Amino acid sequence: MLAKDIMTSPVTTIEEGHNVRDAVEIINLRNIGAVPVLDALGRVVGIVTEGDLLRRVASSWARHPVPHTRDRDSALADYIKARSWRIEDVMTSPVISATSTATASQLAELLQAHGVKHVPVVDAGKLVGIISRRDLMRALLDVPKDCTASGDEALQTAVQSRLESELGLLRPAVKASVSGAIVTLCGEVDSEIEKDAARVAAESVRGIQGVVTKITVAYHMLSRFKP
């Protein structure tokens, strides 16, 4: 699944010449979590989020002087964000963005790595959409399981293939058998988490209705590392 399949489009935006009150009104009226900021040429130059506005509200109640310390520049930047009514002073910039061909996993990694909740989607310098954490969560629920042929034999082949290709669990170490769409996993693995991963791999095959795990953990292999 790609960004273009998940993103919200068209996007509600605001121009950098507007003020913070305009951004608050847009976010409340549209019930959205972020507003990309565009310059006169339509390029994304920043983004104003609910988090930016909430931090502003929280800090506006305190009127402490900016200290003359080695962190003064950072404190002054916080002061400007808390007091200014100009969009360009309050917005987050530069903007973390993605292209419309980015995959769902790449988008999730991008959000996680940068600690952001919204990512504008930009193609050839033009804003074409926006993706939020909530969009990704909905997409996760909508993604169908991989299609497989029907019948126990086909399901067995599919499960065995997934165990081998995704987890490196080859026969005869771990063997899958299927009867009535119920898969039974037998064999031996090196750890409890590897056993759980094998179960998850089998459960994720479309058509499987249950998993019986008879896999054992080779604790004797771990004893080799004990002093």
- Where would I find the H helices in the chain? 3-6, 20-30, 50-60, 72-83, 87-90, 104-114, 133-142, 152-167, 192-203, 219-222
Q: Model confidence over 112-164: pLDDT tens digits?
A: 999 899 999 999 989 999 999 888 888 777 655 555 556 889 999 999 998 99
Identify the sign of the CA torsion 61, 64, 68, 71. negative
Interatomic CA distance for residues 12 and 38, integer angstroms: 11
Q: Model confidence over 161-215: pLDDT tens digits?
A: 989 988 888 888 899 999 999 999 999 998 999 999 999 999 988 889 999 999 9
Strands 34-38 and 14-15: parallel
User: Is 210 buried (19+), middle (13-18) or exposed (0-12) by CB count in 10 A?
Assistant: exposed
Is the full-model pTM beyond 0.85? no
Torsion over CA of 136, 137, 141 and 144, rounded to 10 degrees? 20
